[in-house]
Structure 1
Amino acid sequence: MAMNDNGWRGGKKDNDGPPDLDEIFRSLNQKLSRLLGGGPGNGPGGSPEGRSLFRGGASILLVILAGVWLASGFYVVDAREVGVVLRMGSFNRTSDSGLQWHAPYPFEKVEIVNLTEVRSVEVGYRGNAKNRIPEESLMLTQDQNIIDVQLSVQYDVKDPKAFLFSNAAADKDAKDVVKQATETSIREVVGRNKVDFVLNEGRAQVASDTATLIQQNLDRYNLGVRISKVNINDVQPPEQVLAAFDDAVKAGQDREKLRNEGLAYANDVIPKASGLASRLMEEAEGHKQRVVANAEGDAARFKQVLVEYSKAPGVMRERLYQDMMQQILSNSSKVLVDQKSGSNLLYLPLDKLIQQASPGANVPTTAAPSASPSVNSLPPPPVTEPASAAPPSTRNSREVVRSRDFEER
């Protein structure tokens, strides 16, 4: 007990004992009083003037701290952004662009969301086309063919409240949701179409249908984003069958080329053939009308001749015979000379024969009868005896037959 009394008597402590807390607080109080303008007062509280100055300084300090705390609630929202104010962790309101204020922490806080920033998601590749992701890009078409599709989706925020609180605690979470919706939508659209349509003329249609389907899925999730564009960067068969597919595509192109050439040839030949057929039909119709008219004329003339023949058969028979012989001999290439005429002067109309031979007709000549003293080899028409010369008339060969029938009668 004597040792304990010596160690703690009079408020003193040994060098190895714990510090005296009362002494520490008293020392800090005195130092703070001196700092705020008070003197080293006597006793624990110091002088009354010191205590008054201490209370005034503390009040000023509290006011300054309160002002700084209240000022921390001011924030600025850009024209392209919107502020979402959270009160005690729950949605309270949205704020427009400009200088705004909210209750300081921990009562309220604000989340700034950029509405015009275009975000993008890549499906089937990362960075460039060479960095393929087969588990994302390979998909089946309607006709059970595998194709490799690479696409990117661009989107922005249309509802900041839904973007922050519906299925997406952060922008990264929203990006994952958009990516999953894109994979689901592109596989559904590709599965509804055939491989030729997707690879060739249907890319724009596939991109449009995919964008519509992605937006419908995200609206069901109430994600608060808007799909602005879907880009089909690359569509091709898998690398293992790419060479064979290129050959098939080339064959299809050759088939289309030959088909176009055939159509061009048909478009060129068919009009010509149609025109030729029309011309031949018109010529045939004209020939038909001409033959019918000639036949009707011959029939009318035959009836007239028959009437005259019934009146004088012998005279008419002789007349028909002479006319027919004149027609036949006028078309002959021989010149007949009657030796019995007893005339030493032989008349040959060479001028007329030369004029008729001028077009270049070269008619072969044959030997005249043995009774004839000479034969002229010039082209037709020939010249008969002067006594039988008469103007030629046009007849048909049927009249020759008729004249022979008359002679037999």
Structure 2
Amino acid sequence: MEIFDGFRKSIGLAMAGGKSPWGGKGEGGSSDGGDGGGEAPRGDDGNGPRNPWLPGGGGGSDSGKRRSANIEDIFKNRGPEGPRRRGGGGPRGPNLRLPERPGGKSWLPVIAVGILALWLLTSSAHLIGPQEKAVVKRLGNYSRTLDSGLQFSLPFPIETVEVENVEGVRPIRIPGNDKAAKLILTGDQNLVDLSYVVRWNIKDLETYKFRIVDPEQTVNEVAEAAMRAAVAEKELDETFSGQGRAAIEQDVKNRMQTKLDLYQAGIRVLGVEIEKADPPSQVVDAFRDVQVAEQNADAARNQAQGYAQQVLAQAEGEAEAFDKVYEEYRLAPQVTRQRLYYETMERVLSKTDKTIVEAQGVTPYLPLPEIRRRAKEAQPATTVTAQGGQ
């Protein structure tokens, strides 16, 4: 705006002085520009109207040079930081150059050869660990398998080498770290929450790399299918007992290995370990009550079996004693009969009150129980008197 205000003022002053701002003489002015100084710049031929975009000022050869009249050219030479400055003839920056070898030759070929040799060495020589093997792919296709040790191949990208640990144990926990319940149906229509670990490694590296897309996911799915099939053949109590768990683990391992060999997955199943076998969390209280009732039933059953064994042993002892008496009776029936009679009478009369009566005119009475009672009462009294006398 300041530029246009100045331009408008210059036009006003020129017209006030009798000059035309577009060149030529004004109505009352002279061709030399009057009081304003030198002649105003004109067009290229010097006769046209004055171009307001040309620099004003005095004469000289440079005073009439044209500046670009296109406003696009003005903004073309500007940037965000201001007007662009064209480089002059000043000194340039330092010229960087590699040092030369003795004899004036450049080090560039030597550096290139060294980089090429280093690339060939790093991409062709491979040190494979004792528990590792590697597959070689030539232009993306399988070529061969490399064993442990120092091995060589064609440089990259002609051949690529992928190293895998084939002896290391790789565990998979089912379910994963989210600790979600894994409910499995048993053979007696009950649900059990199982968590287990499958341990495996690589049996055939070629089939492992090229037969299956995701080995871990394959092992996970095969393990779940095998576990459900094995538990479906067992009852709930067998999944809680130690022997039942061992049988399930072995069955799952065999099923997994058979299925993975059918897939040609190149995987060896090392073992399956059941970490937890619990009832579902929704019915855990009722299940505990059932377990307590079963334990009480087992205790009562064991107690009854013990009593039955005791009675049976006593009956067997009495039968054996009777057999021995019968053997003696067969040898001497009269003596044995009389002896049995005496023993029976002795056993019966020892527990009853007895009265001895002798006939033959006078009937004496001998109260043996009363005499025995008086004797027992008199014995403590005698003892007390003897102690008082001392």
TM-score range, shorter chain: 0.5 to 0.7
Question: Structure 1 residue 64: deviation in Å?
Answer: 2.6
2:197 is aligned to 152
What CA deviation, in whole Å up to 9, does each residue of 1:17-75 have, x standing for no partner?
A: xxxxxxxxxxxxx998x96579xxxxxxxxxx99xx57xx6654443343123112222
Question: Structure 1 residue 362: deviation in Å?
Answer: 6.2
Tell me which of 181, 201, 214 is aligned to 2:222: 181
Whether 2:293 is the aligned partner of 1:251: answer yes
Whether 2:160 is the aligned partner of 1:105: answer no
1:118 is aligned to 169
Q: Does the C-alpha gap of structure 1 residues 101 and 285 become closer, same or farther in structure 2, counting only changes over 3 Å?
A: closer
Letter in 2 for 1:219: D
Question: Structure 1 residue 108: deviation in Å?
Answer: 0.8
Letter in 2 for 1:364: V
Question: Structure 1 residue 167: deviation in Å?
Answer: 0.6
In 2, the alpha carbon distance for the partners of 1:237 and 1:229 equals: 24
Question: Is contact 2:357-2:364 (8 Å) kept?
Answer: no
What CA deviation, in whole Å up to 9, does each residue of 1:269-317 have, x standing for no partner?
A: 323211211212332454465446899xxxxxxxxxxxxxxxxxxxxxx
Tell me which of 53, 64, 68 is aligned to 2:118: 68
Letter in 2 for 1:283: V
- Secondary structure of the residue aligned to 2:356 is coil
Question: Structure 1 residue 206: deviation in Å?
Answer: 0.6
Please list every run of 5 or more consecutive structure 1 residues that lacks an aligned counterpart in the other structure: 1-15, 17-29, 39-48, 296-360, 380-409
Number of equivalent positions: 257
In 2, the alpha carbon distance for the partners of 1:164 and 1:294 equals: 95
1:191 is aligned to 232
In 1, the alpha carbon distance for the partners of 2:217 and 2:205 equals: 17
Letter in 1 for 2:136: V
Question: Structure 1 residue 110: deviation in Å?
Answer: 0.8
Letter in 1 for 2:226: S
- Secondary structure of the residue aligned to 2:113 is helix
Q: Does the C-alpha gap of structure 1 residues 261 and 62 become closer, same or farther in structure 2, counting only changes over 3 Å?
A: same
Letter in 1 for 2:356: V
In 1, the alpha carbon distance for the partners of 2:333 and 2:132 equals: 97
Q: Does the C-alpha gap of structure 1 residues 274 and 113 become closer, same or farther in structure 2, counting only changes over 3 Å?
A: same
Letter in 1 for 2:179: R
1:45 is aligned to none
In 1, the alpha carbon distance for the partners of 2:126 and 2:316 equals: 85
Question: Structure 1 residue 120: deviation in Å?
Answer: 1.3
1:363 is aligned to 356
- Secondary structure of the residue aligned to 2:265 is coil
In 2, the alpha carbon distance for the partners of 1:277 and 1:144 equals: 50
Tell me which of 157, 180, 198 is aligned to 1:133: 180
Letter in 2 for 1:133: A
Question: Structure 1 residue 150: deviation in Å?
Answer: 0.9
- TM-score, with structure 1 as normaliser: 0.55
1:326 is aligned to none
Q: Does the C-alpha gap of structure 1 residues 294 and 257 become closer, same or farther in structure 2, counting only changes over 3 Å?
A: closer
1:218 is aligned to 260
- Secondary structure of the residue aligned to 2:155 is coil
In 2, the alpha carbon distance for the partners of 1:116 and 1:224 equals: 13
Q: Does the C-alpha gap of structure 1 residues 159 and 287 become closer, same or farther in structure 2, counting only changes over 3 Å?
A: same
Question: Structure 1 residue 91: deviation in Å?
Answer: 1.7
Letter in 1 for 2:189: Q
Question: Structure 1 residue 115: deviation in Å?
Answer: 1.7
1:79 is aligned to 130
In 1, the alpha carbon distance for the partners of 2:277 and 2:129 equals: 40
Q: Does the C-alpha gap of structure 1 residues 64 and 132 become closer, same or farther in structure 2, counting only changes over 3 Å?
A: closer
User: RMSD value over aligned CA atoms?
Assistant: 3.4
Q: Which has the higher contact order (CA 8 A, sep 6+)?
A: 1
1:275 is aligned to 317
Matches within 5 A, 1:334-353: none
In 2, the alpha carbon distance for the partners of 1:155 and 1:294 equals: 81
What CA deviation, in whole Å up to 9, does each residue of 1:337-394 have, x standing for no partner?
A: xxxxxxxxxxxxxxxxxxxxxxxx962356x64xxxx777689xxxxxxxxxxxxxxx
Letter in 2 for 1:193: K
What CA deviation, in whole Å up to 9, does each residue of 1:138-165 have, x standing for no partner?
A: 1211121111111111111121112211
Q: Does the C-alpha gap of structure 1 residues 155 and 294 become closer, same or farther in structure 2, counting only changes over 3 Å?
A: closer
2:388 is aligned to none
In 2, the alpha carbon distance for the partners of 1:31 and 1:232 equals: 71
In 2, the alpha carbon distance for the partners of 1:196 and 1:375 equals: 80
In 2, the alpha carbon distance for the partners of 1:75 and 1:113 equals: 13
- TM-score, with structure 2 as normaliser: 0.58
Question: Is contact 2:355-2:365 (8 Å) kept?
Answer: no
In 1, the alpha carbon distance for the partners of 2:321 and 2:336 equals: 22
Determine what percentage of the aligned residue pairs are the same residue.
29
Question: Structure 1 residue 266: deviation in Å?
Answer: 3.1
Q: Does the C-alpha gap of structure 1 residues 270 and 378 become closer, same or farther in structure 2, counting only changes over 3 Å?
A: closer
Q: Does the C-alpha gap of structure 1 residues 362 and 288 become closer, same or farther in structure 2, counting only changes over 3 Å?
A: farther
Q: Does the C-alpha gap of structure 1 residues 37 and 286 become closer, same or farther in structure 2, counting only changes over 3 Å?
A: closer
Question: Structure 1 residue 219: deviation in Å?
Answer: 1.2
Whether 2:264 is the aligned partner of 1:228: answer no
In 1, the alpha carbon distance for the partners of 2:164 and 2:180 equals: 31
